[in-house]
Amino acid sequence: MATKKKQTPAAKTVKTPSAMDRVKLARDAKRPHIGDFINYVLDDFEELHGDRLVNDDRGLVGGFGTLAGRHVLVLGHNKGETVEENMASNFGMANPDGYRKAMRLAKLAEKFHCPVVTFVDTPGAYPGREAEERGQAEAIAKSLEVFALLKTPVVVVITGEGGSGGALAIAVGDKVLMMENAVYSVISPEGCAGILWRDGAKAPEAAEALKITAPDLKRLGAIDEIIPEPAGGAQKNKKAACLAVKKAVAAALDELDAIPCDALVEKRYAKLRSLGNFY
């Protein structure tokens, strides 16, 4: 009597997220924020406040801590988790005071030979009237200059939204890492669709065209490494996502430790100059 063969279930095909899918994941309110990275990545943290000119901007936080036995300066956009925190921090959109605070702390880290680790997660710099009156564009431009010439290792981690100049101001580094479902762009997909087609509904098309995802930016050479996330996104397991970031940052710092400061700055500058040059 013939026996029936057991049928093996067909392997499930894993759908690759579209660019707009990743935008939605990057904006997920439950995604790890700077507070989570401080808790899981650092063994201790002492926040420092104020730009010594105007005030202490809550849209960008900074302080010193210990990462895998190494003293580091951590800077990061602060979106907040509750509505109250969102409002207090302008949803992670820093004022000029925030970028001037970042520069002040970065120079302090340079003085004490501490590496700098930045966590980028912002829709962009705060566009309010007072921010413009206090020199938003100048603060971002000056921050680019300071980080480009900083004589200490700088590792950048794009964790959620990397939006325009607000992200770039603290995203100049020797190693630029990017979480798997983060995005990094000169403009939001909605803003791009509004300009090109005057139709916000075309944001998914704009997201694809902008090449804002980690795989696209890795191919283009704009970032150095993609940090994998738990299945379904970092918000599904914050601790695992943060520990993956910690491992990647520690490895990057180990690599940069072997490079003398002057050579580090030269390589960083050459890297910046090469962006957008495909020939």
The answer to whether position 18 is within a domain reads no
Residue 12 lies in a domain: no
> How far is 268 from 37, CA to CA, in rounded Å?
25
Q: What is the mean pLDDT of residues 207-219?
A: 95
Instruction: Report the pLDDT value the prediction gives residue 26, as an integer from 0 to 100.
Output: 93
Mean local confidence (pLDDT), 188-213: 94
Q: What is the mean pLDDT of residues 225-238?
A: 94
Average pLDDT over residues 244-263: 95
pLDDT of amino acid 85:
83
Domain of 87 in residue numbering reads as: 32-274
d(CA 219, CA 198): 30
Q: Tell me whether residue 257 is in a domain.
A: yes
Give me the pLDDT at residue 91, please. Answer: 86
Residues 164-178: tens digit of each pLDDT? 999 999 999 999 999
Amino acid 10: pLDDT: 52
Domain annotation covers residue 101: yes
- For position 60, what pLDDT does the model report? 95
When pLDDT is cut at 50, 70 and 90, the band that residue 155 belongs to is: very high
Q: What Cα–Cα distance (Å) separates residue 19 from each residue in 24, 175, 177, 230, 253? A: 9, 23, 18, 18, 30
**Number of domains making up the chain:** 1
Q: What are the C-alpha distances in Å from 81 to residues 24, 33, 89, 175, 184? A: 16, 8, 10, 28, 21
Proportion of the chain above pLDDT 90, given as a percent: 79
Is 14 domain-assigned?
Answer: no
Band (pLDDT 50/70/90 cuts) for residue 277 is confident
pLDDT in tens, 95-147: 999 999 999 999 999 999 999 999 999 999 999 899 999 999 999 999 999 99
The whole-number pLDDT of residue 160 equals 95
Q: pLDDT exceeding 70 applies to what percent of the chain?
A: 94
Residue 55's domain is classified under what CATH number? Answer: 3.90.226.10
Q: Is residue 7 part of a domain?
A: no
The whole-number pLDDT of residue 12 equals 57
- What mean pLDDT value characterizes the chain? 91
Confidence of residue 5 (pLDDT cuts 50, 70, 90): low
Tell me the pTM. 0.91
Q: CB-based burial of residue 172 (10 Å sphere; 0-12 exposed, 13-18 middle, 19+ buried)? A: buried
Residue 72 in any domain: the answer is yes
Mean pLDDT value of segment 9-33: 83
pLDDT band at 200 (very low <50, low <70, confident <90, very high): confident
So what's the pLDDT on residue 13?
59
Is 4 a member of any domain? Answer: no
pLDDT digits (tens, 9 = 90+) for 55-104: 899 999 999 999 999 999 999 999 887 888 888 888 889 999 999 999 99
Average pLDDT on 212-220 reads 95
